[in-house]
Every structure is written in structure tokens, then in C-alpha cells.
Amino acid sequence: MSNESTAPNEANTPETEASAANEAAPAAAPAEPDLLALLTEERNALRDQLLRSRADFDNFRKRARRDEDDAKKRAKEDVLRELLPVFDNLERAANFSKSSTDAKAIGEGVVMVLRLFEDTLTRVGGSRLKSVGQVFDPNVHEAIQQVEHDEYPAGVVVQEFVPGYQFADRLLRAAQVVVSKGKPVATEAPKGDDEGQTN
């Protein structure tokens, strides 16, 4: 027997076999987190975020509605504040008419109040529509009558019963007007009758 066959093989010693086994075995993987728990946690976070967003939106909508209502009230208050001098002067005219018999002075006072009202209306962005002499426009006029007229051609407003008003580009009230049908048609007397009377 040769010495080579009887000599112990260093590669096959128990220590080397154990280290080879350790190297061949895969390293132990770290423990995986529970997937269901992660998804549940993520779902709960998204639900909380959604509920907070919904509450924020509801608060925003309520605040916007409240701000809009406040703005409308302030606009109405501003217009009424501008009209207060008109009402004051009308009240003065009414009180003066009770104690005075001067109709001319009362009339002049009313004309002044009307002028003040028109000035105030212009200041707040409104205006009175001009109707008489204008071509009838169904967008701003409401015809309540048609008459024959010597001065105005057909389709032109000849009289205004109730004035119309607009605010900026919006119609507040249409003017109630009388519209011309044109000049009256002259009717000729029958010639036969005239001849019979002369004979």
C-alpha cells in the first residue's frame, strides 16, 4: 500500500466538511413583513386622508357660500346707502306739500329729487333707458299700444308710460311704450257723392 492512500485527506476532515456545508447553505433571509398588515395600514391612512380632504372641502364650500352671501348683502347695503338722500328729499317734499299750497314749488322739488335719483343711479352703475324717438326694440321695450303719428315713422317709440332701467349691461326693467304706426292714411271721399250734391 502506498502512503498516499493511507494518509488522511485534509479536504475531508470533519471541520472542512462543516465549513463547506455552511458555505453551500443559503443565508437565512430576513423575516418578511406581513403583506396584509401593510395593505391594511396603507388603506387606513388613505381613508383618513380622504376624510380630512372631504371635511376641508365642506368647510371651504360653506365659507365660500357665506362670503358670497356677505358680498351680496354689502352690495345691497351700498346701493341703499346711496339712495337714502333720495328718500330723504322725497320725504321733505311730501311734508312740504302738506303745509304748502304752492304747487309750482312742490313740482320743482320733485324734479330736483328725480334728478338726484338719476345721478345716484348713474353712480352705482345703472341708467335709465331712452325710449321716445328711438326705434322700438323688443329687448328693452314693451309695446302697450300702437298709434298713428304725424311726426314719427312706423316702428318708432312716441310715448313712454313706464321708464325702463338697466344695470351695466343687464336689463332691470323694460320700458312700457307707445309705438307709432306711421302717418294716418288720408281717406278720400267718394267722387260720385260730391257730383250728386252739386247737381
- pLDDT for position 16: 56
- pLDDT for position 30: 53
Sketch the domain layout of the chain as residue ranges: 36-124, 126-185
- pLDDT for position 1: 47
126-185 classified as CATH 3.40.50.2300: no
**Partners of 177 in the β-ladder:** 143, 160
CA distance 172 to 58: 35
- pLDDT for position 95: 81
CA distance 146 to 154: 9
Q: Positive or negative CA dihedral for 86, 92, 96, 99?
A: positive
HSE (side-chain half, CA atoms, 13 Å) at 10: 0
- pLDDT for position 21: 52
Per-residue model confidence as pLDDT tens for the chain (199 residues): 444 544 455 555 555 555 555 555 555 555 566 888 889 999 999 999 999 999 999 999 999 999 999 998 888 888 888 888 888 888 888 888 778 777 788 888 888 888 888 888 888 888 889 999 999 999 999 999 999 988 899 999 999 999 999 988 899 999 999 999 888 776 665 565 555 555 4
CA distance 190 to 198: 14
* DSSP letter (8 states) at residue 124: T
**Second-level CATH architecture of 36-124:** Alpha-Beta Complex (3.90)
Confidence (pTM) = 0.55
- Displacement of CA 65 from its chain's centroid (Å): 13
